[in-house]
Amino acid sequence: MIVLNIYRSANPLKVGDLAKTLELPHSTIGSSVKRLEEKNYVVYKRYHPVILSEIGKNLTIEIIRHAQLMEILLHCELGLTKEEAHSESEKFNLLFSCNTINRICEKYKHPKECPCGEQILNSQDCHCENHF
pLDDT in tens, 25-72: 999 999 999 999 999 999 999 999 999 999 999 989 989 999 999 999
- CB of 72 closer than 8 Å to CB of 116: no
123 pLDDT tier (thresholds 50, 70, 90): low
pTM of the model: 0.83
Distance CA 125, CA 101 (A): 13
Where in 22-130 does DSSP place strands (E)?
A: 42-43, 51-52
**Residue pLDDT, tens place only, 66-93:** 999 999 999 999 999 999 999 999 888 7
Reported as type and span, the H/E element at residue 77 is: helix 54-78
- Structural domains for the chain: 2-52 (1.10.10.10), 61-131 (1.10.10.10)
